[in-house]
Chain A
Amino acid sequence: MSLTGAALGAGLGSSLLAAAAGTLLPRRARRVGAGLGTGAAGAAAVVAGGAALSGHPWDAWYPDLLPLAGIRLAVDPLSGLFLAVTGAVAMCAAVYGVGYARGGPRGGSGLDGRVTQAMVPLFVAAMLLVPAAASASTFLVAWELMALTSLLLVVAEHRRRAAVAEAGLWYAVMTHLGLVVVLAGLVGFAAAADGESFTRMRAAADGMSPAVRGAVFVATFVGFASKAGIVPLHVWLPRAHPEAPSHVSALMSAAMVNLGVYGIVRVGFDLLGGGPEWWWLLALAAGAASALYGILQAAVATDLKRLLAYSTCENMGLVLLGVGASGLFAAVGSRPLAALAMTAALLHVVNHAGFKTLLFLSAGSVVHATGTRDLDDLGGLRSPMPATTALFGVGALMASALPLGNGFVSEWLLVQSLIHALPSGGTVTAVTMPLAVAVVALSAGLAVATFVKAFGVGFLARPRTPAAARAHESPATMLAGMAAAAVCCGALALAPGWAASGLTRAIAVAAPGPDAVSAQATLRPAGLPSTMSPLVIAVALLVAVVGLAALLRAAASRRARRRARLWDCGAGPMSARMEYTATSFAEPLQRVFDDVLAPETDLDVTPVTESAYLVDSVTYRARVGDRIEHRLYRPVLAAVEWTGQAARPLANGSVHRYVGYGFYAFTGVLVVLAVLR
């Protein structure tokens, strides 16, 4: 057995051990046991993924593990990439979870129960199995296992908040609808290929009719896109990710959604071997819609974790944009650009996993310390929680697509591939690519505003509520988990060449071609005139900042320093009520995008009883709902509800009637059979 297989086996084994530890150990030891086991599983997965990425593929068939089909596993470089990402996220989340599950000073969190403790390692194991699966049945089993374990984790805190149950319901329904579509697609594919192992399907894909290939692609694309939180199938994501415990949010948002992208790349590029242009235009359109809508909603969100969840929609949209562009380039025959776009997409998956882990873990640290996620209730966390503030600041910088952040590197590569498409492609690329560039640029700009809001309103200035004022720094294990994620982000930001060259073999699976990016300290997309060196940018920025600070200092020291009260317009001492809130910060954006967001405002003026002209009180409520959910899902839900109500007379409570339905249906079918045969 190769290193890859051994490490993957060790990862799965130690997550099972961790689950056993979470179930059997006493309450105090449970957290540590399960956390260590999950961390070890993550480390093993990183080793397995690294080995696969450096060219040690592995495959195995266990015919007796499942009836009929058995379990078929194979790790190629593409699987290895997703294994490594999942493993790294799991390591950070596991270490963090040891401290987080103990709960804040206001009593236990209830997260050290048996079910929750056992489910985290099982969830990680399922996420390791999904990319390692090498047959349709194995893949679907792992996919469903992942959905079930994550569902149980989403509802872990259902006794504390009423919203958890609703989020769980949405998630359960959406994830199972997604499973049904993926199942239909893969089963149809396997039937047409006359075999369900991926090798067989890959070999048979070329000979299929375009209609079958198109149907398979659309079905699997819809299912996988719903897992990746792509608009308009995203509705579960901004509910479920915030309501889950924070280390689970990190696992879901940084590792689980990636597997939706993995599914699209695996089926669309690897198994079906690419397809016509309309497939990839579909992907481009979905990705663009998701990127814009996600970041717009994030920009106006006031719930910290909801903001991060919408940002996940945005980033997955950008990844899908890259994937779609890559497919489109491959379809029109420009291989180097296809490889470059795929590099950008996969690198963005890695980068997003890094900063989203960090951000969700820091948001969890804030929730742990203050008990609230509402940005309008936070503020002033800098002095009581310096480490968390610094780490969230790093995460916000990484996420906002500015130089020094790792998100910038992959978005730069993405824009490079899109811009240089113009001369090579046909009319379709000439029209779509500039639009795609505009989408990336707009979403990057909005992302900056979003994360400035999250960091500035949430952490700086003065505390707005007593809960925020009583905040305290998180325990060392939580800080360690966050710091590990921050170190990974920093490495990815400063030395992306190292990561990009590690991806070479994974990209070759999806978009075969010459090396897309020649990477030392400077990133140099092959065949394009542009270069970028994050390290040089970082040094230059550092020099500029230090120089500017020194200059200001020198200028300031010429004059004698004078101590005075802060200018407050004469309105008396400044209070926390005068600060910018998340709502007010986002208000201009909300105004600009009024047509898209359609915020609901509610103005209620109550006059004094004696006179209609004297106002007694004014109530103003503004809420930015999810418009897609409102327009697309509510009518469907209403129709289902109406059908249910209309069918109520059928069920009048009589047991005989219910049994009778069964009897008449059964004999009816038999009569039909008897007549037809």
Chain B
Amino acid sequence: MNHVLYVRLLDLACGAFLLAGVLVLWRRDLAAIVRLFAAQGVALGCLVAVLGVDAGDPEVVGLAVGIGLLRAVALPWLLRRAMTAGGAGRETDPRVNVAASLMVAALLALLAYAVTRPVVALDPAPAVRAVPVALTVVLIGFFVLVTRRRALSQVVGFLLVDNGITAVAFLTTSGVPLIVELGVSLDVLLAVLVLQVLTARMRAAFGDTDLDDLRELRD
């Protein structure tokens, strides 16, 4: 692949990846959040595929397809199924409002750039320069976990963190071994399945999926 084209494509994929993450903070409609997450999965798949094609490593390209299928198709499908089972379709009253959330996202991005400077300085290749983007997505996912009330948004926050970690792994190394990625993906899948069951049980117990209702369980 032509180097310029590679850098362009890489930047495009990273941009889409980051944008999808930030937009999750902006939207309050749960269906839209799931769509954004699927879009981010596609972006992540493309990102890995671009890296794989550039390195000429068919195993990484295969992994990219697997990651895309899992994160853009399978997980959103599971989330949608959990959503249609009932409950309110909107994120009511997040703990930090949307405008402030976007502000915080910008600060987190600054923090990620500041922290990863030494990593980038080690090897300023185009892929490594994109590491701050992936770290920003990790931080945004964490922020979603802290501020959003619905169980489904929590799951998406958790998956954002995982997407970000996967992106960091692929950007900093020359291809993650298949067995490691397989293990990580299986973990994520199982976690989502468990959270889906938990959501259903919460709805059965409280009639709602606001996580703060769990406070009643404390002794």
Could you say which of A656, A666, A667 contacts B95, with CB atoms under 8 Å apart? Answer: A656
Could you say which of A651, A663, A670, A677 contacts B146, with CB atoms under 8 Å apart? Answer: A663
Which residues of chain B have C-beta atoms less than 8 A from A659's C-beta? 142, 145-146
Report if A673 contacts B (CB, 8 A).
yes
- A-contact 0/1 string along B110-152, CB 8 Å cutoff: 0110110110000000000000000000010011011101000
Report if B3 contacts A (CB, 8 A).
no
Closest 5 CB pairs of A and B: A653-B218, A674-B114, A653-B215, A660-B146, A655-B211
A-B contact pairs, 7 of them (CB 8 A): A652-B215, A654-B214, A655-B214, A663-B142, A663-B146, A670-B112, A674-B114
- B-contact 0/1 string along A636-661, CB 8 Å cutoff: 00000000000000011111100110
Which residues of chain A have C-beta atoms less than 8 A from B142's C-beta? 659, 662-663, 666-667
- B-contact 0/1 string along A619-631, CB 8 Å cutoff: 0000000000000
Report if A162 contacts B (CB, 8 A).
no
Contacting pair A667 B108 (CB below 8 A): yes
Report if A671 contacts B (CB, 8 A).
yes
Which residues of chain B have C-beta atoms less than 8 A from A653's C-beta? 214-218
- Report the separation of the CA atoms of residues A666 and B115 in the bound assembly, to the nearest whole angstrom: 12
- Chain B minimum-CB-distance residue to A669: B115
Q: How far is the CB of B212 from chain A (nearest CB, A)?
A: 6
Q: How far is the CB of A662 from chain B (nearest CB, A)?
A: 7
Contacting pair B111 A655 (CB below 8 A): no
Query: A663-B146, A677-B118 given as contacts; is B212 within 8 A of A654 (CB)?
Result: yes
Q: How far is the CB of A135 from chain B (nearest CB, A)?
A: 28
Interface class of chain A by DSSP: helix
- Report the separation of the CA atoms of residues A655 and B210 in the bound assembly, to the nearest whole angstrom: 10
- For B114, B115, B154, B212, the residue with the greatest tally of chain A CB atoms inside 10 Å of its CB is B115
Known: A656-B149, A663-B145. 20 other contacts (CB 8 A): A654-B211, A654-B214, A655-B212, A655-B214, A656-B95, A656-B146, A656-B211, A656-B212, A659-B145, A662-B142, A663-B143, A663-B146, A666-B139, A667-B139, A670-B111, A670-B112, A670-B115, A673-B115, A674-B117, A677-B118
- For A651, A667, A671, the residue with the greatest tally of chain B CB atoms inside 10 Å of its CB is A667
Which residues of chain A have C-beta atoms less than 8 A from B115's C-beta? 670, 673-674
Q: How far is the CB of B101 from chain A (nearest CB, A)?
A: 13
Q: How far is the CB of A674 from chain B (nearest CB, A)?
A: 4
Query: A663-B143, A666-B142 given as contacts; is B117 within 8 A of A677 (CB)?
Result: yes
Q: How far is the CB of B119 from chain A (nearest CB, A)?
A: 11
Which residues of chain B have C-beta atoms less than 8 A from A666's C-beta? 139, 142
Which residues of chain A have C-beta atoms less than 8 A from B214's C-beta? 653-655
Contacting pair A652 B218 (CB below 8 A): yes
Could you say which of A656, A670, A673, A674 contacts B147, with CB atoms under 8 Å apart? Answer: A656
Q: How far is the CB of B27 from chain A (nearest CB, A)?
A: 19
- Report the separation of the CA atoms of residues A663 and B146 in the bound assembly, to the nearest whole angstrom: 7
Q: How far is the CB of A315 from chain B (nearest CB, A)?
A: 46
Which residues of chain B have C-beta atoms less than 8 A from A674's C-beta? 111, 114-115, 117
Which residues of chain B have C-beta atoms less than 8 A from A677's C-beta? 117-118
Could you say which of A654, A662, A671 contacts B111, with CB atoms under 8 Å apart? Answer: A671
- Report the separation of the CA atoms of residues A659 and B211 in the bound assembly, to the nearest whole angstrom: 12
Contacting pair A654 B145 (CB below 8 A): no
Q: How far is the CB of A666 from chain B (nearest CB, A)?
A: 7
Which residues of chain A have C-beta atoms less than 8 A from B146's C-beta? 656, 659-660, 663
Q: How far is the CB of B146 from chain A (nearest CB, A)?
A: 5
- For A659, A660, A662, the residue with the greatest tally of chain B CB atoms inside 10 Å of its CB is A659
Q: How far is the CB of B131 from chain A (nearest CB, A)?
A: 13
- For A651, A671, A674, the residue with the greatest tally of chain B CB atoms inside 10 Å of its CB is A674
Which residues of chain B have C-beta atoms less than 8 A from A654's C-beta? 211-212, 214-215
- Report the separation of the CA atoms of residues A663 and B142 in the bound assembly, to the nearest whole angstrom: 6
Q: How far is the CB of A114 from chain B (nearest CB, A)?
A: 27
Contacting pair A667 B111 (CB below 8 A): yes
- Chain B minimum-CB-distance residue to A651: B218
- Report the separation of the CA atoms of residues A652 and B95 in the bound assembly, to the nearest whole angstrom: 17
- Report the separation of the CA atoms of residues A670 and B215 in the bound assembly, to the nearest whole angstrom: 30
Which residues of chain A have C-beta atoms less than 8 A from B108's C-beta? 667
Q: How far is the CB of A658 from chain B (nearest CB, A)?
A: 10
Which residues of chain A have C-beta atoms less than 8 A from B112's C-beta? 670
- Report the separation of the CA atoms of residues A651 and B218 in the bound assembly, to the nearest whole angstrom: 9
- Chain A minimum-CB-distance residue to B211: A655
- For B95, B108, B215, the residue with the greatest tally of chain A CB atoms inside 10 Å of its CB is B215
- Report the separation of the CA atoms of residues A290 and B118 in the bound assembly, to the nearest whole angstrom: 56
- Report the separation of the CA atoms of residues A407 and B215 in the bound assembly, to the nearest whole angstrom: 62
Which residues of chain A have C-beta atoms less than 8 A from B143's C-beta? 663
- A-contact 0/1 string along B185-215, CB 8 Å cutoff: 0000000000000000000000000011011
Which residues of chain B have C-beta atoms less than 8 A from A667's C-beta? 108, 111, 139, 142
Which residues of chain B have C-beta atoms less than 8 A from A651's C-beta? 218
- Report the separation of the CA atoms of residues A652 and B212 in the bound assembly, to the nearest whole angstrom: 10
Which residues of chain A have C-beta atoms less than 8 A from B154's C-beta? 655
- Chain B minimum-CB-distance residue to A662: B142
Which residues of chain A have C-beta atoms less than 8 A from B217's C-beta? 653
Q: How far is the CB of A648 from chain B (nearest CB, A)?
A: 10
- Chain A minimum-CB-distance residue to B138: A666
Which residues of chain A have C-beta atoms less than 8 A from B111's C-beta? 667, 670-671, 674
- Report the separation of the CA atoms of residues A670 and B216 in the bound assembly, to the nearest whole angstrom: 34
- Report the separation of the CA atoms of residues A667 and B140 in the bound assembly, to the nearest whole angstrom: 11
Q: How far is the CB of B84 from chain A (nearest CB, A)?
A: 24
Which residues of chain B have C-beta atoms less than 8 A from A662's C-beta? 142
- Report the separation of the CA atoms of residues A653 and B219 in the bound assembly, to the nearest whole angstrom: 9
- Report the separation of the CA atoms of residues A656 and B108 in the bound assembly, to the nearest whole angstrom: 19
Which residues of chain B have C-beta atoms less than 8 A from A656's C-beta? 95, 146-147, 149, 211-212
Which residues of chain B have C-beta atoms less than 8 A from A655's C-beta? 154, 211-212, 214
Q: How far is the CB of B112 from chain A (nearest CB, A)?
A: 8
Which residues of chain A have C-beta atoms less than 8 A from B218's C-beta? 651-653
- Chain B minimum-CB-distance residue to A655: B211
- Chain A minimum-CB-distance residue to B148: A656
